[in-house]
Chain A
Amino acid sequence: MSDLLLEVHGLHAGYGPIEVLHGLDLSVERGGFAVILGANGAGKTTTMRALSGMLARRGEVSFDGHDISKSSPEAIVRLGIAQVPQGRGTFPELSVEDNLRAGAYIRTDGDAIGDDVERWFTNFPRLRERSSQRAGTLSGGEQQMLAIARALMSRPKLLLCDEPSLGLSPLITQASRSCSSSRTPTSPSRSPRRCTSSKRVPSSAPAPPRRYLETTASAAPTWGTDRWNVCFKSSSTGCPKGRSTR
């Protein structure tokens, strides 16, 4: 197996006649971590949507040995890509718990789903307190936690996070930063606009747990149990400054 989990070559995508991505190259290693930086309107969200199959696109996209350049969003989720969309995209009319269960839609291991719900409630106690409340009535930050937890409910191999820190307090941000994804290997000559580094991950941030993006396909039994816990717990100790309120 190649060490690249996700490999993208010459990805074109856009909206109807408007092309936004003109031949994007990108790759994410197994167990690796990538960040895409770019100015507003540069095409970061478009990239995410193209990768998850929500947009018409052309180019080569291979994920975990499968060609997903023409797959439907459903098939792509089943292969192991989950997305936290920009603007959270929770189900506002559904309860917090139902949001999590919907995140596990592709799974068939009923009991383990309940365990995972429990795990996320432990990681985000705020969500447990609100488990039967409708997601639309959560605060912005609480919704963001929910969106991240929901994406992980599908037990993805790759997690795509679009602006995962939006609205989250620094404490939680540290945790979720480790989940954020994708870097900017857009070769400048092909990129629509030069990607400017408008955002930088502060150097003081703890080194992101390397396995965030990939959860070793083969090691299903060890999936998550400790790893995710470690992630979110370590964040509370590993947050150097800006701890502030929650």
Chain B
Amino acid sequence: MERLLQIIFNGLSQGSVYSLIALGLVVVYRGTGHLNFAQGEMALTGAYLTWQFDQWGIPLLIAALLAMVCGFALGAATEFFLVRPLGKKSPFAVFVATIALFLGLNSLDGAIWGGEAKPYPNFFPNDDDDFIRILGAEWRYERLGVFVVMLVLTGLFFLLFKKTKLGLAMRAVASNSESAKLVGIPTNLVLMTSWGLAAAVGALGGSLIASVNTNVNQLTMIVVFIAASAAATLGGFDSPGGAVLSGLFIGVLETGAADYFPDWIGQDLKILPAFVVIMAVLLFRPAGLWGSSRVERV
């Protein structure tokens, strides 16, 4: 029981980061129908920026906020300069462009911040006794904090979508962009904002995972991005809530797999069981657990 609970705690924290990146993927996908391959590397850039601002003596929280602002600009610029002009011609061109951006950002980060891992500052208290004990299992503040931040951010997104005019516009554009234009929604601006928000959340997610890992390097986001794409697929690419829940699920599942089967699976293969589950689920629910196969009527 204690062991299971421990796995759940650790898994939820790990999964929170997947959820944040997956949330970004879903926001972009719903708006433009594109899978942003560079989402993980945008997050990596955000993580490096937080590190850099911190090095310059800016308080860590402000550093992370600044990184989110830069992330927003990066995402919005991507939409404006790459996705918009290319998307008019062909969706495949956007696909290739986001892959190019993935590689480009990764090498750019490498060129600026060097090949070796940077020791990363911690957002939350992490002395030996900084944890709460629940039924015998320990939830360290640094991990609990990640989970809480994710919950807050998801809540904010929910409010944005459901309660604000921008959210209504984002949902309208995702649902039918022609009609969105016809009711006067500036669809381009809305899409640019979607990309910006996705990248801003990503920047925070990247900084958080780097903080949990205690370091950041060029490979930090690769596996995270794969897990996040899996989460978005499992949840259904058009369901933000589904992406978040699936991210948490994958986090718990992989932590459990690594813990219960250290020899067969261990740290290196821990994500694999999650993929098996996802494939099984997609066999029965092709649109993902919470995804909608579009309804239309003539």
Is the CB of B165 closer than 8 A to any CB of chain A?
Answer: yes
A90 close to B295 (CB less than 8 A): no
Chain B min CB distance to A32 (Å): 22
The answer to whether A105 and B165 have CB atoms under 8 Å apart is yes
- In the complex, the answer to whether A94 meets B175 with C-beta atoms within 8 Å is yes
Query: Could you mark each residue 79-114 of chain B with 1 if its beta carbon is under 8 Å from any beta carbon of chain A, else 0?
Result: 000000000000000000000000000000000000
Stretch from B51-59, B127-135, B181-189 contacting the other chain: B181-189
Interface residues of B in 165-215 (CB under 8 A from A): 165, 168-169, 171-172, 174-176, 178-186
* A73 and B296 contacting across the interface, CB-CB below 8 Å: no
Per-residue 0/1 for B266-296: is the Cβ within 8 Å of any A Cβ (1 yes, 0 no)? 0000000000000000000000000010111
**Shortest distance between the CB of A53 and any CB in chain B (Å):** 8
Task: Specify which of B176, B295, B297, B298 is in contact with A89 (CB 8 Å cutoff).
Answer: B176
User: Chain B: residues with CB nearer than 8 A to chain A?
Assistant: 165, 168-169, 171-172, 174-176, 178-186, 238, 292, 294-298
Compute how far the CA of A54 lies from the CA of B171 in the bound complex, rounded to whole angstroms. 20
The count of residues in chain A whose C-beta lies closer than 8 Å to any C-beta of chain B is 33
Q: How many Å from the CB of B188 to the closest CB on chain A?
A: 10
- Which residues of B sit under 8 angstroms from A130, Cβ to Cβ? none
Question: What number of A-B contacts does a CB cutoff of 8 Å give?
Answer: 87
- Asked if B295 and A77 make an inter-chain contact with CB atoms under 8 angstroms apart, the answer reads no
Would you list which residues of chain A between 152 and 195 have a CB under 8 Å from chain B? 153-154
For B295, give its contact among A82, A101, A137, A150 (CB under 8 Å): A137
Query: Are A101 and B168 closer than 8 Å at their CB atoms?
Result: yes
Q: Is A134 an interface residue (CB 8 A)?
A: yes
Q: Is the CB of A154 within 8 A of B183?
A: yes
> Assuming the A-B contacts A105-B165, A105-B169, A105-B185, are A136 and B295 also in contact, with contact meaning beta carbons closer than 8 angstroms in the complex?
yes
Instruction: Pick the interface stretch among A138-146, A201-209, A235-243.
Output: A138-146
Q: Are A140 and B297 in contact (CB under 8 A)?
A: yes
What is the CA–CA distance of A94 and B170 in the complex, to the nearest angstrom? 11
Q: Is A78 an interface residue (CB 8 A)?
A: yes
How distant is the Cα of A11 from the Cα of B257 in the complex, in angstroms?
67
Q: Which 5 A-B pairs have the closest CB atoms?
A: A77-B184, A136-B295, A91-B175, A89-B179, A106-B184
